Amino acid sequence: MRDDEIALHLQQALASGELQSAESFGKPLAADAGWEATPDSLRMPFKILKNAGFAPPEVALFHQKAALQAQIAACSDETERRQLQEQLGQLAQQLALRLEALRSSGQF
């Protein structure tokens, strides 16, 4: 569809009251859970890729990092917490190296 066709459909839906019946009408969109954890320079490219149905490998690393952080926060066993923190450190290093490789190659 072209932009003017989309605009026409939106105007018709607004005029008919169809849009107002939507639960989220007039409210801000819900924030994406990973938006704040994603570096500023990657937010828009990752959003475009996500909307296209493609997730780069770095996104999976960010999800793993968030999951480990949640596990650490919920962990009461000190030995297990240290192991999780070690895993988090290794993952953070892997992620930092991957992002640096992307930066140095000019891919972002």
Q: Could you count the other beta carbons within 10 Å of the beta carbon of residue 47?
A: 14
Q: Where are the domains of the chain?
A: 1-30, 31-108
What is the pLDDT at residue 107?
A: 63
Positions of the chain with pLDDT under 50: none
Query: Can you tell me which residue has the tokens 């066709």?
Result: 5
pLDDT of residue 34: 72
**CA angle, corner 15, sides to 32 and 31, nearest 5?**
5
Predicted local distance difference test score (pLDDT) of residue 97 = 92
